[in-house]
Chain A
Amino acid sequence: MIAEKINLKSKYQRYLVALLGVLILAITTAIFLGSESLLFTNLNEQQSVILFEIRIPRVLLAVSIGASLAVAGAALQALLRNPLAEPYLLGVSNGAALGTMLAFVFFSQFEIARPVFAIIGAGLATFIVWQIANSRAGMNTERLVLAGVIVTTLLSSVLILLTSLLDATRLRSFTFWLLGDLSQASPTAFYVVFATAIFGTIILLSQAKALNLMMLGERDAADFGVEVKKTRLIVFTTASFLVGISVASGGSVGFVGLVVPHIIRLILGSDNRIVIPASCLFGAAFVVLADTVSRTAISPRELPVGAITALIGCPLFIYLLKKS
């Protein structure tokens, strides 16, 4: 029994090391590829600016955004016991998008307004969904998902309405951003996303055990001594922050929160103590590779990264689903 446990632990460790290897490989590839070819043995001043001030920060931004979205998706799916639970489905993402858009329209001169408004938007959307889902009979998963769908639809309509009212030049930059665009983030935004991704993953990992028990059902979890309400609040808030910050700096990079945790579960099983860190590493590698494609496929022009993540993610997901 004990030997089995140790065996399982070392097996998980091996998987995590392997995924870390994949991530490092992805990062290295991404750093070597770009619209400008660099001779790494002999960089001139301009090339070192390209490498250190443009390419590497962007790759690390992709790492942070990928990790944030994948971890948020994994935790929400476990919390709601719903395979479709995703930041987008729960309205969190659209709340952040609307917040960013309002900052974009009214405070376009202040760069700091975008992440601030995005967090406020994500938080408000989460709060509203929370309030709608909370009834006298308490909250259940169905009510929560339904509330999420309603809020998402409402926010989408407002977003579409606003885009129609914007003039042509603003419309163009915003439609690009809505599809996911990692080229626009400022260095300060990058540090914020990076820190959020790390702290978010740690917080969610601390809830992994509770989430495991909650997957059995909330009543059972409560019987096992899990503080259901507290766990729910922590997971929901952390996920909102992760998604809000990601959307503010990289736009809506879709499918990461849905596809990555599912792939991980299909390969490694559904123990959240492994799913959360593995999703973090794999999500990061996934977005890094997708962004590399978007930077290099038609260089010096660029593609929206959200379209690439969907194009890579969906077939992979279907393949794994059929195979299992």
Chain B
Amino acid sequence: MPCLFSPFVFLAKKARLFILKIVNKKTIFFIFIVAISQLLSCKNTLSIAPITTFRDVTDDLNRRVKLPNKVERAISLAPNLTENVFAIDAGNTLIGVTEYCDFPEDAKKIQKIGDTIKPNIENIIALKPQIILVSTASQLENFTKQLDENNIAVFVTDPKDLEGVYRNLIQFGEIFGKTEKASEIVASLRKRVAEVELKINTTKDLKVFVQISREPLFSIGKTSFLNDVIKRAGGISVTDSINEPFPKLSKETALASNPEAIILSESPNNIEPNDVFKDSNASKNKRIFKVNADIFSRPGPRLVEAIEIIAKNLHPESFQ
């Protein structure tokens, strides 16, 4: 039997703060008792009442993002963020992802809402998400007003290193109410990295060139998360003085850097090193290897896998 009084109870709760100002505490206690008795009399339908309370979380740009207590409908606008959400067992809350979100397997079944650079704002609003996870602030700049009007929160991530990835996982744990799972995942990732670091702590760091694209020659700079990945895997990027995440590099500088190892982010245009490296130490010692671009280029939980692969290739003697 439906409870006739539940809307009034809802209103009473909403008005509580207002009443607090004008009446004394005893009266409030009395009203509270009455309210409780009303609630108890119709406890079966209690859970249906739309009591939404909000909380604040802080994103990577130090914005305060207002979120409902329980997040059940989320959209991810980058493959690494989709992987993060699945890693903390919150994949079932995702109602929209990008065309590039292909990992884990379940992510492929979720509705696609365009790609990372140009998401479809109509699809996004139609899906009625409570939160959108984005990887760059500019992604949704033009739509911020529309999203605000529709009460859709935007959470911006910007991991600059492995710690940033851990931080994102913990933040996502808070957002989706999976704090324990998130700390568990982060702890196990930390453990795997620590194991790698332990194995290679006596070896000498190798000079590494990371080739993102062969022609034109693109590499990584100081502000890329990959700089940190290389460091943790027992290497030092020869381009780590460049203050940009993915610089187009002068071939003269590339040749002069004479790396001891070359890592190729594997894609159809990037399966062998640029010609300028043909006399480098890396070519002489045959220390050239590929890493799957999906593992290598997404700052998510699989980055630890990249560290393991790179460390094994840079220092095979430590992994025997």
A and B: bona fide binding partners: yes
**Which residue numbers of A lie inside 8 Å of B, CB to CB?**
34-36, 46-47, 49-50, 54-55, 108, 168-170, 172-173, 176-177, 181, 183-184, 186, 295, 299-302
Q: How far is the CA of A46 from the CA of B255 in the complex (A)?
A: 8
* Residue pair A54, B255 in contact (C-beta under 8 Å): yes
> How many Å from the CB of B154 to the closest CB on chain A?
22
Q: How far is the CA of A177 from the CA of B117 in the complex (A)?
A: 20
Q: Which residues of B contact A34 (CB under 8 A)?
A: 250, 252
The listed residue (B117, B269, B275) touching A169 by CB distance below 8 A is: B269
Q: Which residues of B contact A55 (CB under 8 A)?
A: 252
* Residue pair B252, A168 in contact (C-beta under 8 Å): no
Given known pairs A54-B276, A176-B248, the reply for A169 and B216 (CB within 8 Å) is no
The listed residue (A108, A168, A169, A300) touching B253 by CB distance below 8 A is: A300
* Residue pair A300, B216 in contact (C-beta under 8 Å): no
* Residue pair B252, A35 in contact (C-beta under 8 Å): yes
Q: Which residues of A contact B117 (CB under 8 A)?
A: 168
- A-B CB contact pairs (8 Å), 13 listed: A34-B252, A36-B255, A50-B256, A54-B252, A169-B212, A172-B218, A173-B218, A181-B216, A184-B216, A295-B250, A300-B247, A301-B249, A302-B216
Interface status of B268 (Cβ within 8 A of chain A): yes
* Residue pair A177, B216 in contact (C-beta under 8 Å): yes
> How many Å from the CB of A191 to the closest CB on chain B?
16
Q: Which residues of B contact A49 (CB under 8 A)?
A: 255, 279
* Residue pair B251, A183 in contact (C-beta under 8 Å): yes
* Residue pair B213, A169 in contact (C-beta under 8 Å): yes
Q: How far is the CA of A49 from the CA of B275 in the complex (A)?
A: 12
Interface status of B258 (Cβ within 8 A of chain A): yes
* Residue pair B249, A302 in contact (C-beta under 8 Å): yes
* Residue pair A169, B252 in contact (C-beta under 8 Å): no
Interface residue count on the B side (C-beta < 8 Å): 30
Q: How far is the CA of A184 from the CA of B251 in the complex (A)?
A: 10
> How many Å from the CB of B59 to the closest CB on chain A?
24
Residue of A nearest to B257 (CB): A300
Q: Which of B165-221 contact A (CB under 8 A)?
A: 212-213, 215-218
Interface status of B56 (Cβ within 8 A of chain A): no
Q: Which of B265-281 contact A (CB under 8 A)?
A: 267-270, 275-276, 279
Given known pairs A36-B256, A49-B255, A299-B253, the reply for A184 and B215 (CB within 8 Å) is yes
* Residue pair B268, A108 in contact (C-beta under 8 Å): yes
Q: How far is the CA of A184 from the CA of B117 in the complex (A)?
A: 26
Q: Which residues of B contact A181 (CB under 8 A)?
A: 216
Q: How far is the CA of A299 from the CA of B249 in the complex (A)?
A: 8
Q: How far is the CA of A190 from the CA of B110 in the complex (A)?
A: 49
Q: How far is the CA of A283 from the CA of B217 in the complex (A)?
A: 27
Residue of B nearest to A111 (CB): B215
The 4 closest A-B pairs by CB, nearest first: A300-B253, A35-B250, A36-B252, A184-B215
* Residue pair A300, B269 in contact (C-beta under 8 Å): no
Q: Which residues of A contact B252 (CB under 8 A)?
A: 34-36, 50, 54-55, 300
The listed residue (A46, A169, A295) touching B256 by CB distance below 8 A is: A46
Q: How far is the CA of A46 from the CA of B100 in the complex (A)?
A: 41
Q: How far is the CA of A34 from the CA of B255 in the complex (A)?
A: 13
> How many Å from the CB of A105 to the closest CB on chain B?
10
Most chain A CB atoms below 10 A, which of B212, B244, B269: B269
Given known pairs A169-B267, A173-B269, A301-B248, the reply for A36 and B213 (CB within 8 Å) is no
Q: How far is the CA of A300 from the CA of B221 in the complex (A)?
A: 11
Residue of B nearest to A299 (CB): B250
Q: How far is the CA of A46 from the CA of B251 in the complex (A)?
A: 13
* Residue pair B255, A50 in contact (C-beta under 8 Å): yes
Q: How far is the CA of A295 from the CA of B247 in the complex (A)?
A: 13
> How many Å from the CB of B135 to the closest CB on chain A?
12
Q: How far is the CA of A114 from the CA of B242 in the complex (A)?
A: 31
> How many Å from the CB of A33 to the closest CB on chain B?
11
Given known pairs A184-B215, A301-B248, the reply for A170 and B269 (CB within 8 Å) is yes
> How many Å from the CB of A146 to the closest CB on chain B?
34
* Residue pair A300, B215 in contact (C-beta under 8 Å): no
* Residue pair A46, B250 in contact (C-beta under 8 Å): no
Q: Which residues of A contact B249 (CB under 8 A)?
A: 300-302
* Residue pair A169, B250 in contact (C-beta under 8 Å): no
Interface status of B125 (Cβ within 8 A of chain A): no
Q: How far is the CA of A34 from the CA of B251 in the complex (A)?
A: 10
Residue of B nearest to A104 (CB): B269
Q: Which residues of B contact A108 (CB under 8 A)?
A: 268-269
Q: How far is the CA of A49 from the CA of B258 in the complex (A)?
A: 12
Residue of B nearest to A35 (CB): B250
Q: How far is the CA of A200 from the CA of B268 in the complex (A)?
A: 36
* Residue pair A183, B216 in contact (C-beta under 8 Å): yes
Q: Which residues of B contact A50 (CB under 8 A)?
A: 252, 255-256
> How many Å from the CB of A112 to the closest CB on chain B?
14
Most chain B CB atoms below 10 A, which of A34, A46, A54, A170: A54
Residue of B nearest to A181 (CB): B216
> How many Å from the CB of B188 to the closest CB on chain A?
30
* Residue pair A176, B253 in contact (C-beta under 8 Å): no
> How many Å from the CB of A291 to the closest CB on chain B?
12
Given known pairs A49-B279, A54-B276, the reply for A173 and B216 (CB within 8 Å) is yes
Interface status of B46 (Cβ within 8 A of chain A): no
Q: How far is the CA of A170 from the CA of B268 in the complex (A)?
A: 9
Q: How far is the CA of A35 from the CA of B253 in the complex (A)?
A: 6
Residue of A nearest to B280 (CB): A46
> How many Å from the CB of B164 to the closest CB on chain A?
21
Interface status of B57 (Cβ within 8 A of chain A): no
Q: How far is the CA of A301 from the CA of B252 in the complex (A)?
A: 11
